[in-house]
Amino acid sequence: MTSQPKVFTDATAALFDLEDGISLMSGGFGLCGIPENSIHEIVRQGIRDIHAISNNIGNSGRGLALLLKQQQISRATCSYVGGNPDLERQMLAGDVDTTLVPQGTFSERIRAAGMGIRAFYTPAGAGTLVAQGKEVREFDRPCILEYPLSADFAIIKAEKGDNYGNLWFKETARNFSPLMAMAGRTTVVEVEQLVELGDIPAEDVHLPGVFVQRIYQGRDYENVIEIPVYQ
């Protein structure tokens, strides 16, 4: 029987070495494609002083907002606060040091980290508060210099994964997750279906297993659908 060094039994086993002060990328757009099991495990462990890197750090009191409710996050890098009153309140109170990044720049900074790109210029944010303290260079228009964004850990969710870590995502649940998997120094993946190597056809692999260090099959997913409520 061949060993499966990447396969773990559950979130507790896969997240055994977290500690206070880590930087943490978490896939998801709103509540779509979030790693629910890993987030609940981090809440259970109660680690503090987390630098959370995610599109909106949870939403509607769910996802990473569970960590905000327990005051486990001290720093946030994200591109959107709307729909997250927990982050808004803590940001305005000065409890969470929040850096807002234009969404295209956010994803490109993560991609750059995974691809080994040391820096890049972008017109996004030029002439605004985003450009303060950054190098500005003139091309066809003013552009600001941005640097890669990586993390100690990346937690993501996929629909399917094999025991080597090759992943297949369902539709828009892919969002930022493949980029974060490439940018995380340790990438922990939870999947709805853990399959054997070869069960995902090569042409259907959305992320190669070389970027995945740990994988486990999740359970009890809520898969919440966000429905806006208009007053």
The chain-wide mean pLDDT, for the chain, equals 95
Q: Say which CATH number the domain at 68 has.
A: 3.40.1080.10
Place of tokens 């259907």: 204
Residue-wise pLDDT for 147-191, tens only, equals: 999 999 999 999 999 999 999 999 999 999 999 999 999 999 999
CA–CA separation, 82 and 56 (whole Å):
8
Residue 202 lies inside a defined structural domain of this protein: yes
Cα–Cα distance list, 137 to 67, 123, 130 (Å): 39, 9, 14
Band (3; pLDDT cuts 50, 70, 90): low
Give CA torsion, residues 36, 38, 41, 45, to 10 deg.
-130
Q: Is residue 5 part of a domain?
A: no
Alpha-carbon distance of 57 to 86, in angstroms, equals 9
Angle (CA) 24 7 73, round 5°: 15
Provide the number of structural domains found in the chain: 1
Percent share of the chain, pLDDT over 90: 91
Distance of alpha carbon 40 from alpha carbon 92, whole angstroms: 26
CA-based torsion, 31, 66, 169, 208: positive or negative: positive
Bridge partners of 157?
Answer: 190
In a domain, 110, yes or no: no
pLDDT at residue 1 is higher than 60 = no
CA separation for the pair 22, 104 (Å, rounded)? 24
3 state SS of 105? helix
Range of the domain at 81: 11-103+149-217
Q: Which H/E stretch holds residue 76?
A: strand 73-78
Model confidence, pTM: 0.94
Is residue 197 pLDDT above 60, yes or no? yes
Q: What is the pLDDT of residue 10?
A: 98
Q: What is the pLDDT of residues 47-72, one digit of tens each?
A: 999 999 999 999 989 999 999 999 99
pLDDT score of 224 more than 90:
no
In angstroms, the CA 29 to CA 197 distance is: 28
d(CA 185, CA 187): 6
Q: How far apart are CA 82 and CA 94, in angstroms?
A: 17
Q: What pLDDT is attached to residue 83? A: 85
Q: Return the higher-pLDDT residue of 30 and 21.
A: 21
Residue 131 pLDDT exceeds 60 = yes
**Within a domain: residue 116?**
no
The answer to whether residue 2 sits within a structural domain is no
Residue 122 in domain? no
Distance CA 86, CA 74 (A): 13
In a domain, 129, yes or no: no
What pLDDT score was predicted for residue 5?
93
- Token reading at 174: 């892919």
Instruction: Please report whether residue 4 resides in a domain.
Output: no
